[in-house]
Amino acid sequence: MQKNFPLSASSDSVKRPTELVWQALTFPPLYLSIGERCESSTKDAGETMVMKRMPERSQRCIVIGTAGHIDHGKTSLVRALTGVDTDRLPEEKKRGISIDLGFAHMALPNGSSISFVDVPGHERFVKNMLAGVSGIQAVLLVVAADEGVEPQTREHFNICRLLGLRQGFVVLTKSDIADVGQIRAARVGVEELCRGSFLDGAPIVTASAMTGTGLENVRQGLAELVGRIEPAASGRIVRLPVDRSFSVKGFGTVVTGTLSGGSLSTGDTVILHPGSRPIRVRGLQVQGKSVTRAEAGERTAVNVAGIEHTEIRRGDVLTASNRVEPSRRLAVALDWLPEQAAHSGRERFLVHLGAAEVSAHLKIWKTDAEDSRFAQLWLAKPVMAFPGDRLILRRPSPADTVAGGTVIDPFPPKRSKALEAVGRLLQLLDCSLGERIQILVEESPAGLLFADLERLCGRPTAEIRQLAEKNGGLLVHAGLPKQKVISKRWIRERQSKLVTWLSVFHKQNPSKAAAPIAAARLGLSEEAARFVFESLPLVQVNGDGVSLKSHHPQVSDAEAAALHKIERRFQLGGFAPPGVDEVLKETAADSRKARALLEQLIKQARLVRISESLVFHADVIAHIRTSLAAHKGRRFTVAEFKEWTQISRKFAIPLLEYLDRASVTRRDGDYRVVL
Ligand SMILES: Nc1nc2c(ncn2[C@@H]2O[C@H](COP(=O)(O)OP(=O)(O)OP(=O)(O)O)[C@@H](O)[C@H]2O)c(=O)[nH]1
Ligand SMILES: [Mg+2]
């Protein structure tokens, strides 16, 4: 039976032991009760999970991050709004600053709710701030009214802008200690900072966490903000970039993060990356409550089974898809901050993606001296990245944010020339998923499996299949053991090559009925070759041989006589044909030669192969087809069929199976139905 999380304590009623190190859990009240010790590990890394179902909760539940310079009042504002002090580390208490991420939540009167991610403002902890803001849907830019815009106001704002955030507003805090002139100056500074950005024209609310003045306006602003936020996409591959991993007594390992799409249910098996380790979801909490399902965009705490909390680190990723995998090389479009020169060469950067921080170097694809937009990132360790993911590039020393980036291709070709690479990235940059599928399939020499496409596109197979099937330029080949998508253009190109090759083969081997597929496949896999051959109207595939339909093998007088003899044997056999081996033996001393003659007759449709060892004359099959066609819809048993044809059971069963395959009849239990 599934074990529930403790539901007894509420955040404010619990007096937590001082040794609690990581109280800044997503939903501390439910995981922690008096005396429980919670340990944590917070280091690097990744993301993911596949979405399947629609949300079961009707209320909106969104994640908002704070941003702003050190000491500007972010934590105080969150506490005034939620009653939760997100500074929980002893060191945070001692130093009076936030060091790591803090979490709190509040309910809005309309039933919606907000999860706050409170970030530290200190310049040394921007890396922690980055682990928190990757999952937020809106920002509260907090600026102390008495100080105005400061360096980390700017850096945090830039990070939010570069991550592609679209919603948020500004709170000028500490209004109780700022005079009118300071407030006006702070407002002007903020307006200047935000000009032309997603916060241009956003409300600038003046408030004091100390006196409570203006907090009602902040609440109102939050309620309006929630209404403007687009719901996170369902039906996507879900990733849970882990920003925290800790252990709760009696429950074991709990990890937290923001689900980036889809849903996660208790009992699901998820895969931990890096390492591709499957683990089971024992329990889930969202907004401080145990739930059976967490949805895209929600701050989620996941109780996982069978793994120590120290084995999961900040930046690791949970995913429900076993087809996606982390990558060490990313093709990206970069947006450099104006004051930052374009970089390349040996300089190392820190890449922040999801909750991960990874060292990397850059290769910029320069097509002219000015252009440093497109680049390839070589990462020190793999990260789970999907096309369209945003990332931040920082210089480690002196620490500074230098650029934002968008992942264009998480698995780019290893080698290519700058012009080629840029041309390709420009194509992929703004394309739809359908166009991306087409580009990727056309690039690959023999088509792509759906599993490959899921990995390359970061989107679920069901969505990819739908788009591939309705794309006139692509062919979904169902005949292979694993379904593959092949471009029709590619087939057409191969078609002309194959036809040329076959013409040459027939010219050089005029007496051979067909070329072996293995020899004709022109560097393709046998599966792909067979698929191409079968799709060509000019070409005929027969067993292991392939030939042009227009080809008629030249035969000597002796061969013509042998052909006649073989055909005659099957014709005379009628419904009781002779054994293939027996006929071959009679025909020629050289068994390969005899088989080639038989194959020739099959190719010419004088004989029909029913199974490997059973061949009928074409007239017999034509006779059966005509006789059955006159009884459309008629049901009959094997015994009846035997009676009509006077055929033995040995031949009747394979013959009927052949007729089923040829859609002349359909099996229905003990009966056949004439189609
Ligand atoms: N007078 C006054 N003081 C405030 C107000 N808000 C915060 N403070 C004080 O400012 C100091 C810093 O507040 P915090 O809320 O910790 O600031 P922060 O932005 O979270 O700081 P970091 O997380 O370290 O970046 C504390 O001493 C607060 O008591 C306010 O509205 N009025
Ligand atoms: Mg703080």
If you ran DSSP here, which 8-state letter would residue 545 be given? E
- Written as six digits, the tokens of 518 are 């293995």
Cα(131) to centroid of ligand 1, in Å? Answer: 22
Q: Which ligand is nearest to the CA of 122?
A: 1
Instruction: For residue 86, give the ligand nearest its CA.
Output: 2
Please tell me whether residue 79 adopts helix, strand or coil conformation.
Answer: helix
- Give the separation between CA 672 and CA 666, rounded to whole angstroms: 5
Residues whose CB is less than 8 angstroms from the CB of residue 62 and which lie 6 or more positions away in sequence, other chains included: 112, 113, 114, 115, 137, 138, 226, 229, 297
Which residues have CB under 8 Å from 297's CB, separation 6+? 61, 62, 63, 137, 231, 232, 258, 259, 260, 261
Residue nearest to atom 8 of ligand 1 (CA): 73
* Candidate of 70, 75, 91 to mutate for ligand 1, largest count of ligand atoms within 8 Å of Cβ: 75
Say what the pLDDT of residue 663 is.
Answer: 86
Neighbours of ion ligand 2 (CB under 5 A): 74-75, 98
Q: Which ligand has the shortest distance to the CA of 147? A: 1
Residue nearest to ligand 1 atom 3, measured at CA:
174
Task: Tell me which ligand sits closest to the C-alpha of residue 24.
Answer: 2
End-to-end CA distance of the chain: 53
To test ligand 1's pocket by mutation, which of 66, 69, 71 has the most ligand atoms within 8 angstroms of CB? 71
Number of other CB atoms surrounding residue 76 within 10 Å: 20
What CA–CA distance (Å, rounded) separates 384 from 39? 26
Ligand 1 atom 4 nearest Cα: 174
**Residue 181: its pLDDT value, please?**
96
Q: Which residues contact 233 (CB under 8 A, 6 or more apart)?
A: 51, 261, 296
Q: Write b or e for each residue in 325-364: b if 16 or more Cβ atoms lie within 10 A of its Cβ, otherwise e.
A: bbbebbbbbbbbbeeeebbeeeeebbbbbbbbbbebbbbb
d(CA 632, CA 96): 88
pLDDT for residue 482: 60
Q: What are the tokens at 104?
A: 């709190």
Q: Hey, whose CA ends up nearest to atom 21 of ligand 1?
A: 71
Predicted pLDDT at 25? 34
The DSSP secondary-structure symbol of 18 reads T
pTM of the model: 0.73
CA of 156 relative to ligand 1 center, distance in Å: 17
Do the Cβ atoms of 142 and 415 come closer than 8 Å? no
Any idea how long the chain is?
675
CA of 102 to the centre of ligand 1 (A): 14
Ligand 1 centroid distance, CA of 71 (Å): 5
CA of 117 to the centre of ligand 2 (A): 10
CA 583 to the chain's CA centroid: 56
Residue bearing the CA closest to ligand 1, atom 29: 76
Identify the segments of the chain with pLDDT beneath 50: 1-56
Q: How far is the CA of 8 from the centre of ligand 2 (A)?
A: 28
CA-nearest residue, atom 13 of ligand 1: 73
pLDDT of the residue at 261: 77
Provide the pLDDT for residue 5: 36
Residue 391 Cα to ligand 2 midpoint, Å, equals 23
- Residue 354's pLDDT is 93
Task: Report the Cα 142 to chain-centroid distance in Å.
Answer: 35
72 Cα–ligand 1 center, Å:
5
Q: By alpha-carbon position, which residue is closest to atom 5 of ligand 1?
A: 174
Dihedral of alpha carbons 351, 353, 355, 356, sign: negative
Provide the b/e sequence for 234-265 (b: ≥16 CB within 10 Å): bbbbbbbbbbbbbbbeebbbbbbbbbbbbbbe
Give the number of other Cβ atoms within 10 Å of residue 657's Cβ. Answer: 14
Instruction: Looking at the CA of residue 96, tell me the nearest atom of ligand 1.
Output: 16
Which residue ranges have their beta carbon within 6 Å of ligand 1? 68, 70-76, 97-98, 120-122, 173-174, 176-177, 208-210
Contact 550, 506 (CB under 8 A): no
Contact of 254 with 6, CB cutoff 8 Å: no
Contact partners, residue 576, CB within 8 Å, separation at least 6: 647, 648, 651
Residue ID of nearest Cα to ligand 1 atom 32 = 174
Q: How far, in Å, is the centroid of ligand 1 from the Cα of 76?
A: 5
| Residue 613, both tokens | 């060892």
Q: How far apart are CA 237 and CA 250, in angstroms?
A: 31
In this prediction, residue 112 carries a pLDDT of: 86
What pLDDT shows up at residue 366?
Answer: 79
> Cα of 24 to ligand 1 centre, how many Å?
18
For residue 326, the model assigns a pLDDT of 95
User: Which region holds residue 255: left if phi is over 0, alpha if psi is between -120 and 50, else beta?
Assistant: beta
